[in-house]
Structure 1
Amino acid sequence: MSQTVKGVISRGKDQPVEITTIVIPDPGPGEAVVDISTCGVCHTDLHYVQGGIGDDYPYLLGHEATGIVSAVGDGVTEVAVGDKVILNWRAVCGECRACRKGEPKYCFNTHNATQKMTLEDGTELSPALGIGAFAEKTLVAAGQCTKVEGVSDDQDAAVGLLGCGIMAGIGAAINTGEVKRGESVAVIGCGGVGTAAIAGAKLAGATTIIAVDIDPRKLEKALELGATHTVNSKETDAVEAVQALTGGFGADVVIDAVGRPETYKQAFYARDLAGRVVLVGVPTPEMTLELPLLDVFGRGGSLKSSWYGDCLPSHDFQMLVDQYRLGRLDLDAFVTETIGLDEIDAAFEKMHSGEVLRSVVVL
C-alpha cells in the first residue's frame, strides 16, 4: 500500500523549492523504501534547481542521506528492514563491461528504482541522482542502500555526507590521485569537495598539503582539516606559490575541485614532472580547454577525471566510517549547521556565498 510523506521539490528552473506531499509506492522487486534520517544540502541539488542538469521537472531533491530501511521488495538480499544505510548513486549492475572486468567502481550501467514516486495528482517525480532524499521517506534500488555499522544516531548528519560530496573529495585524493605517504598535494578550490580532498590527502599520509582558494574563510577551514599551507590565489599566482612550497618543482598530485578551464590550467602547470592531475570539479557544458600538446607530452604523468571519487560504496563507505570512529577522519567538521526541510532555500544561499561547508537537513 502506498504512503504519503512530505518532500521538497523543484517545479521549474530557478523557482523557489516547495514542500509538498509525495506518494511513495510499496517497493517492487529489487527496491527498498528508506526512512530518511538526515540529508546534506549539496551543490548538485542547486544545479537541479538552476536547470544545470536537465529539465525533467518536477525534481524531488536531496541525495546525501542516511536512513533506516523500512521495507524491501522481492529478491532483495543487500539489505534488510531495520538496517542503517547511507544512500549512494552508484548501484552497480554486475553485468556491464566494467563490472565484468573486475572494475565495478566504473560501472557504466548503475540503476535506480523502477517505479516512480509521484505527486498526489499522479505527476511523476524525477529524484535527484536517482535518490530524492529531501523527504521523510524515499524509494530507491536496493543496491543504492549501503549498510553501515557502528554509527550512532547523533553521527548520522556527518556520516551521511559520504553519500556524495565528501566521498567525491576523499576519493579524488585516495582512489583517483593515489596519494602516497610522503607525497605533496595541492587542492584548488576549498569548498566541500575540495576540503574533503584535503582530508583525504591527510588520511593517505601526504606531508605537504597546499590549499588554494580566493576565500580566506575557506582557507582557514582547510587548515583545520589537514592543509599544511594555504595560497590565496586572488593575491598570489597559484602555480608559482605551489612550486615555491615544493622545492621549485610542483606537487606530486594537484586536484582541481572547481572545474573551470583556468583552474585546470593551474592544476596542470602546478604539478611536478610525471605528476598527476585530478579533475573532480564539474565543468558546465559550454566550457572548453586549450593546452599546448607539447606540454601535455613533455610533462608526462597522468591527467585523470574522478567520478564519485572512483569509489565502490560497498567498500569505501564502511572503511571511511571506521576511520571516523577511530578519530582519523573528522566528518563532524564538515557539518556547519543542521536545518529543517523548510530551510533549504536559505541553505542554498549560504552555500552559494561560501558561508557553509554543509547544511544538513535532519528529519
Structure 2
Amino acid sequence: MSQQVQGVVSRAEGAPVEVTTIVVPDPGPGEAVVRIQTCGVCHTDMHYRDGGINDEYPFLLGHEAAGVVESVGDGVTNVGPGDFVVLNWRAVCGECRACRRGRLEYCFDTHNAEQKMTLEDGTELEPALGIGAFAEKTLVASGQCTKVDPSASPAAAGLLGCGIMAGIGAAVNTGRVGRGDSVAVIGCGGVGNAAVAGARLAGAARIIGVDLDPRKLEWARGFGATHTVDARNNDPVEAIRELTGGFGADVVIEAVGTPKTYEQAFYARDLAGTVVLVGVPTPDMRIELPLLDVFGRGGALKSSWYGDCLPSRDFPVLTDLYTQGRLDLDGFVTEEIGIGDVEEAFARMERGDVLRSVVRL
C-alpha cells in the first residue's frame, strides 16, 4: 500500500521550495523504498530549483542521502529490509556497451525506479537525479542502494552519494594521483576539498589548494593541502609553478567549471601532466586554447563525471576508511538542519558559508 510522507518540492523555476505531502508507492520489481535518515544539500538541487537542469516541474529535491531499506520489490537480491545504504544516481545496467567491456563506471544506460512518486492530487514528481531524498521515504531502483558499514554516521556517509565521491574520484579514479605526485586543486568548495582529501589518500607529496575565499583555503588545509594560494592576490599559474620547482603540478583538478579556471589548470600542469575537469560548466561556456599548446604539452585532458566511480566498489571502501579514521567525512558536515530549512541552506551555500548542510529526517 502506498504511503504519504513529507518531502521538499520545487514547483516552479526560482520559486522557494516547500515542504508538502508526497505519495510513495510500494516497490515494484527491481525497486526499493528507503527510509531516509540524512540528505546533504547540494548545488545540483539548487540548479533543479532554478531551472538549470530541465523544466520538468514539480521536482522532489535531494539526492545525497543515507538511510535504511524498508521494503523491496520482486527480484531484488542486492539489498533487503534493514540494510543501511547510501543512495547513488548511477545504477548500472550491466548490459550496455560500456558494461560489456567491463567498464561499469561508464555505464551508458543507468536506470531509476520505474514508478513515480506523486503529490496528493496525483501529479507526478520528477526526483532529483532519480532519487528525491529530501523526504522521509523515497522510491529508487535497488541498484541505487549501496550497502555500507552501519556503524558509520548517516550524515557523513550520505555525502558519498554525490559531491564527496565526485571530488575523491576526480583525484583517485580520473586523475590517477600516485604516491609522491604534486597536485593542485582549483576551487576548494565541497567537491574541491574532497579532491584534496582524495589526493592525500593517494599519497600525493604536495597538494596545493587554490581559491578566492580564505575560509575555503583554511578548510583545504584541514583536509590535507600542504600549500594554499589566495587567487585574489596571486596568479594561480605562477604560484603553482613556483611551488613545484617551476614545472607545474603532475595533476591539476579544476573544481569550479569556468573557462578562466580551466585555462589556469591547463597552464598550471607540468609537461605530460593531467588536467581533470570536475567543476560543472554551464551550456553557454566556451574555451579557446592554442592547438599547438595542447599538442606540445602532451599529457591528458580529462573530464570526471561522478568521479568515475562505481558505487558498489567505492562507497564501502570509502566508508571503511572513514570508520577507521583515515578519511574525515565529518569535516564536510558544516551543520545539520531540519526538512523545513532547505531554502535557507541554499542561501548559505551560495554565500560560501558552508561545505555541506545536511538535512536530518
TM-score w.r.t. structure 1 length? 0.99
Secondary structure of 2:98's match? helix
Give, in whole Å, the separation in 2 of the partners of 1:13 and 1:234. Answer: 33
Matched residue, 2:298: 300
Give, in whole Å, the separation in 2 of the partners of 1:273 and 1:12. Answer: 48
Give, in whole Å, the separation in 2 of the partners of 1:263 and 1:114. Answer: 39
Matched residue, 1:78: 78
Matched residue, 1:120: 120
Corresponding letter in the other structure for 2:70: S
The alignment status of 1:224 with 2:222, answered yes or no, reads yes
Within-5 A mapping of 1:112-261: 112-152=112-152, 155-261=153-259
Give, in whole Å, the separation in 1 of the partners of 2:323 and 2:39. Answer: 20
Within-5 A mapping of 1:27-46: 27-46=27-46
Matched residue, 1:266: 264
Matched residue, 1:103: 103
Report the Cα offset of residue 241 of structure 1: 0.1
Q: Deviations over 1:17-51 (max 9, x none)?
A: 00000000000000000000000000100000111
Matched residue, 1:284: 282
Matched residue, 1:63: 63
Give, in whole Å, the separation in 1 of the partners of 2:34 and 2:67. Answer: 6
Q: Deviations over 1:74-118 (max 9, x none)?
A: 000110011000000010000000000000000000000000000
Give, in whole Å, the separation in 2 of the partners of 1:310 and 1:22. Answer: 33
Corresponding letter in the other structure for 1:36: I
The alignment status of 1:49 with 2:45, answered yes or no, reads no
Runs of 4+ in 1 over 2 A off after TM superposition: none
Structure 2 unaligned spans of 5+: none
Report the Cα offset of residue 256 of structure 1: 0.3
Report the Cα offset of residue 328 of structure 1: 1.0
Give, in whole Å, the separation in 2 of the partners of 1:237 and 1:122. Answer: 55
Report the Cα offset of residue 150 of structure 1: 4.3
The alignment status of 1:326 with 2:327, answered yes or no, reads no
Q: Could you tell me whether the CA contact under 8 Å between 2:184 and 2:240 is conserved in 1?
A: yes
Give, in whole Å, the separation in 2 of the partners of 1:109 and 1:43. Answer: 24
Corresponding letter in the other structure for 2:94: G
Matched residue, 1:19: 19
Q: Deviations over 1:99-139 (max 9, x none)?
A: 00000000000000000000000000000000000000000
Secondary structure of 1:162's match? helix
Report the Cα offset of residue 327 of structure 1: 1.2
Q: Could you tell me whether the CA contact under 8 Å between 2:69 and 2:82 is conserved in 1?
A: yes
Give, in whole Å, the separation in 1 of the partners of 2:149 and 2:235. Answer: 45
Give, in whole Å, the separation in 2 of the partners of 1:188 and 1:140. Answer: 34
Corresponding letter in the other structure for 2:269: R
Matched residue, 1:316: 314
Secondary structure of 2:287's match? coil
Q: What is the Cα-based RMSD across aligned positions, in Å?
A: 0.5
Corresponding letter in the other structure for 1:137: K
Secondary structure of 1:253's match? strand
Q: Deviations over 1:126-173 (max 9, x none)?
A: 000000000000000000000112424xx1101110000000000000
Q: Could you tell me whether the CA contact under 8 Å between 2:84 and 2:150 is conserved in 1?
A: no
Report the Cα offset of residue 325 of structure 1: 1.2
Corresponding letter in the other structure for 2:92: V
Matched residue, 1:93: 93
Corresponding letter in the other structure for 1:194: G
| Candidates 321, 345, 355, aligned match of 1:347 | 345
Percentage of matched positions with identical amino acids: 74
Q: Deviations over 1:303-349 (max 9, x none)?
A: 00001000000010000011111111000000000000111011001
Give, in whole Å, the separation in 1 of the partners of 2:264 and 2:286. Answer: 15
